Amino acid sequence: MLGWLLILLPLLTAVIIMASPARFSRLVAMLGSLATLGIAMVAAIDFDGWGTGRWGLESSITFLPELGVTLEIGADSVSMLLMLLTALLMPLAVLGSWTAVVDRTREYFGWLMVLASAMTGVFLARDLLLFYICFEFTLIPMFFLIAIYGSTNRAFASVKFFIYTFLGSLLALVGFLYVAWSLASHQGEWSFSIPDLVHFAQTGLTSSEQVWVLAALMAGFAVKIPLFPVHTWLPLAHTEAPTAGSVLLAGVLLKLGTYGLYRFALPMVPEAVVEFAPVLAILAIVGILYGALICWVQTDVKKLVAYSSVSHLGFCVLGLLALNPLGLQGSVLYMINHGLSTGALFFLIGMMYERYHTRDMNVIGGLASKMPIWSCFMVFFVLASVGLPGLNGFVSEFLCLIGTFAAGDTGAYPGVLGPWFAAFAAIGMILAAMYLLIMVGKVVFGSLREPAGVHAHDVLPADLNAREIVVLAPLAIGCVVLGIQPDFVMHAMEGSIAETLAMYPDLVPESMHAMGIKGVTP
Distance of CA 61 to CAs 39, 58, 65, Å? Answer: 21, 11, 10
Least gap, CB of 361 to another protein (angstroms): 13
Alpha-carbon span 44 to 63, nearest angstrom: 28
Alpha-carbon span 469 to 65, nearest angstrom: 50
* Torsion sign over Cα 22, 26, 27, 29: positive
- Number of CB atoms found within 10 A of residue 380's CB: 20
Alpha-carbon span 450 to 363, nearest angstrom: 6
Least gap, CB of 153 to another protein (angstroms): 13
Alpha-carbon span 178 to 175, nearest angstrom: 5
Residues shown for the chain: 522
Alpha-carbon span 425 to 429, nearest angstrom: 8
Least gap, CB of 413 to another protein (angstroms): 7
- Mapping DSSP onto H, E and C, the string for 302-352 reads HHHHHHHHHHHHHHHHHHHHCCCHHHHHHHHHHHHHHHHHHHHHHHHHHHH
Q: Which is nearer to another protein, 63 or 296 (CB)?
A: 296
Phi then psi for 16, rounded to 5 degrees? Answer: -60, -40
| Distance of alpha carbon 478 from the chain centroid | 16
Q: Which is nearer to another protein, 188 or 519 (CB)?
A: 519
Least gap, CB of 507 to another protein (angstroms): 16
Least gap, CB of 174 to another protein (angstroms): 18
Least gap, CB of 259 to another protein (angstroms): 21
Q: Which is nearer to another protein, 92 or 382 (CB)?
A: 382
Q: Which is nearer to another protein, 161 or 356 (CB)?
A: 161
Q: Which is nearer to another protein, 86 or 396 (CB)?
A: 396
Q: Which is nearer to another protein, 132 or 374 (CB)?
A: 374
Least gap, CB of 315 to another protein (angstroms): 13
Q: Which is nearer to another protein, 10 or 287 (CB)?
A: 287
Least gap, CB of 107 to another protein (angstroms): 27
Least gap, CB of 399 to another protein (angstroms): 7
Q: Which is nearer to another protein, 104 or 513 (CB)?
A: 513
| Distance of alpha carbon 205 from the chain centroid | 29
Look at strands 69-75 and 56-64 and give their pairing: antiparallel
Least gap, CB of 101 to another protein (angstroms): 29
| Distance of alpha carbon 256 from the chain centroid | 6
Rg (CA), the chain: 22
Q: Which is nearer to another protein, 78 or 399 (CB)?
A: 399
Residues 6 or more apart whose Cβ sits within 8 Å of residue 258: 221, 225, 313, 316, 317, 320, 331, 335
Which stretch of DSSP H or E encloses residue 286? helix 270-296
Q: How many CA atoms lie within 13 A of 512 on its CB side?
A: 25
Least gap, CB of 434 to another protein (angstroms): 5
Cβ-in-10-Å burial (0-12, 13-18, 19+) of 507 comes to middle
| Distance of alpha carbon 416 from the chain centroid | 25
Least gap, CB of 146 to another protein (angstroms): 17
3-state helix, strand, coil in the chain (%, to 5): 75, 5, 20
Q: Which is nearer to another protein, 423 or 473 (CB)?
A: 423
Q: Which is nearer to another protein, 62 or 299 (CB)?
A: 299
Q: Which is nearer to another protein, 40 or 219 (CB)?
A: 219
